[in-house]
Structure 1
Amino acid sequence: MSFWQSYRGLNSKARLGFGAGLLVWGFLGLQFSDKAGEKLGIVPTEADKAALDKMLPRIHVVPKEK
């Protein structure tokens, strides 16, 4: 049985609880990941930040001719 079929087999309250749990898990991950990284000694260096900034896509606006 696939994961999707198992999920669809749950009653509506269980699916709602599962979805809410995923949202809470994601929110907590966003809130505490930086603090956990600092405690574990996994802090990005300035070189890491510069390399990441270099990989970001750039958007260039081209004026539209009439």
Structure 2
Amino acid sequence: MSLFKTYTSLTPKTKLALGTGLVAWGLLGLTFADKVESKLGFTPTDADKAELEKMTPKIHVVEKRQDKS
């Protein structure tokens, strides 16, 4: 049985509980991710931030030349 078919066969209350649980899990992750990272020692160093800055693409704006006809 496919995952979608299994989901559609659930009762509406179960679908609501599953959706609410997923949203709550995501909100908890967004809320406590920084605190957990700092306690586990996964905070980036200045060298890590500099390395990431070097890999970030740079955008240079070039003005379009207007041809006079």
TM interval, short-chain normalised: 0.7 to 0.9
- Give 1:45 deviation, angstroms: 0.9
Aligned sequence identity (%): 53
Opposite residue 53 of structure 1, the aligned amino acid is: E
State how many pairs are aligned. 66
Q: Which runs of 5+ in 1 are unaligned?
A: none
The residue aligned with 1:44 is 44
| In structure 2, C-alpha distance between the alignment counterparts of 1:19 and 1:62, rounded to whole Å | 46
| In structure 1, C-alpha distance between the alignment counterparts of 2:60 and 2:12, rounded to whole Å | 46
Opposite residue 20 of structure 1, the aligned amino acid is: T
- Give 1:64 deviation, angstroms: 6.4
TM-score, with normalisation over the residues of structure 1? 0.74
Q: Which runs of 5+ in 2 are unaligned?
A: none
Q: Larger radius of gyration, structure 1 or 2? A: 2
**Relative to total residues, which structure has the larger helix share, 1 or 2?**
1
TM-score, with normalisation over the residues of structure 2? 0.71
The residue aligned with 1:13 is 13
Comparing 45-54 with 15-24, which one deviates more in the overlay?
Answer: 45-54
RMSD: 1.9
| Equivalent residue runs for 1:55-66 within 5 Å | 55-59=55-59
| In structure 2, C-alpha distance between the alignment counterparts of 1:64 and 1:16, rounded to whole Å | 52
- Give 1:63 deviation, angstroms: 5.2
